[in-house]
Structure formats: structure tokens, C-alpha cells
């Protein structure tokens, strides 16, 4: 009966693990025990930040819309309220890009609300 050696499998597992930790700093890139913890932690951050990104972008859009609206003498909350009253269904992402890249169009939208 032959002895079963796991050298190749183990090496493959280790290289796969260290491949995921490529670019990490210090021992976390080449010490398997540290790399394993770092990869798990990175996955936690990745999962959390996929959700957080949506919040962060919405905040950014609100700030941009508010800045553009105040330039036309209308605060953000009143602008959103007026849009809803006039049944204008532009989401914050679109409003933000209009405000940033097409300020004249944004001005026309606000004039239409007054």
C-alpha cells in the first residue's frame, strides 16, 4: 500500500491563499496564518462597503443638489418637496448630474417649479 502525500494539494491551497493576499503589507502577504485572517477581514470590509457605497453616493448627490439649488435661492428640502408636488420623477442621481454638468438646464427646472 502506498503512502498518500498531500504536498501538491497543500502547496496549491497555500499559493491560492497567498494569491488572494497579494499586495497586502508586511507578513500578511506571505505568511499563511496572517494572510488567512487578513483575507477574512478584507471580505468583511468588502461586504460592508458594498452597502455603504449606496449611502455615500446618496449623500454626495444631496450635497450637490443642495449647492446648486441654493445658488438659485431654493434650499434642498423645498426643491424636493416642489418636485414631488409637480409630479417630476427625477431621482437624486439624475438631478445631481444635471446640476453638476448642465447648470442652465437645472436652472430651468427650478424656474419651472416657482
pLDDT digits (tens, 9 = 90+) for 57-74: 999 999 999 999 999 999
Assess if residue 104 is contained within a domain. yes
Residues present in the chain in total: 114
Assess if residue 35 is contained within a domain. yes
Assess if residue 53 is contained within a domain. yes
CA distance 1 to 73: 87
Output the nine-digit C-alpha cell for 20: 488572494
**In the 8-state DSSP scheme, what is residue 86?**
T
Assess if residue 3 is contained within a domain. no
Specify the pLDDT at position 3.
80
CA distance 38 to 53: 22
Specify the pLDDT at position 114.
78
3-state secondary structure of 60: helix
Amino acid at each position: 500500500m502506498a503512502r498518500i502525500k498531500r504536498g501538491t494539494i497543500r502547496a496549491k491551497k497555500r499559493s491560492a491563499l497567498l494569491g488572494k493576499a497579494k499586495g497586502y503589507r508586511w507578513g500578511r502577504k506571505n505568511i499563511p496564518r496572517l494572510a488567512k485572517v487578513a483575507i477574512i477581514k478584507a471580505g468583511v470590509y468588502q461586504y460592508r462597503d458594498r452597502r455603504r457605497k449606496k449611502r455615500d453616493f446618496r449623500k454626495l448627490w444631496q450635497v450637490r443638489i443642495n449647492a446648486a439649488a441654493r445658488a438659485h435661492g431654493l434650499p434642498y428640502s423645498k426643491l424636493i418637496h416642489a418636485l414631488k408636488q409637480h409630479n417630476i420623477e427625477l431621482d437624486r442621481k439624475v438631478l445631481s448630474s444635471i446640476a453638476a454638468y448642465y447648470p442652465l438646464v437645472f436652472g430651468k427646472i427650478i424656474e419651472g417649479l416657482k
